[in-house]
Amino acid sequence: MAATPPAVAEDHEALLASADPQLAANKRLVYDMYRIVLQAGLADRAGEFIRDDYIQHNPNAAQGLSGVQDYIRATRPEREIEEKLELPLIHLMAEGNYVQTAFVRTETGANGDTYYSTWFDLYRIEDGKIAEHWDPMLKSDVPIDPNEQRLED
């Protein structure tokens, strides 16, 4: 089987656009949270995007805003904030109060071969902030710094 990564979106502004201003705002909220909190590792800024009573469905992170902040601090260093999300974003979509992201996930097989999968996150927005999060992380998975998933040019 060929190790072909899924196509990465080149035009993030097109992904962020929507004829519905609320959907555009929800997508921008999640995108900027990724850039500033998850990519740059700035846990102290998470409250700009995430509610205090945040519901977390990742079994490796605690509940609430403080749970997200603790998880970020434990899994990645602080970096400069980039204007564009550098993680390998495939797609960003929104409907109602939900925003879903899809990213390329590079993995190494048991025999050392590289293969690609897709990582999905789903966020529920409430009152202009992220209120709830789902992803496919298992309790047995080792927490990762998603920045390690950047594709080589």
Residues contacting residue 85 through CB under 8 Å, at least 6 positions apart: 12, 31, 34, 35, 39
What averages of pLDDT result for each successive group of 10 residues across the chain (153 residues)?
A: 77 97 98 96 98 91 93 93 93 97 88 88 97 78 56 49
CATH for 12-136? Answer: 3.10.450.50
Residue 119, pLDDT score: 87
Residue 35, pLDDT score: 96
Residue 153, pLDDT score: 44
List the domain boundaries for the chain. 12-136
Distances (CA, A) of 137 to 76, 90, 134: 17, 19, 9
Residue 143, pLDDT score: 57
Residue 146, pLDDT score: 60
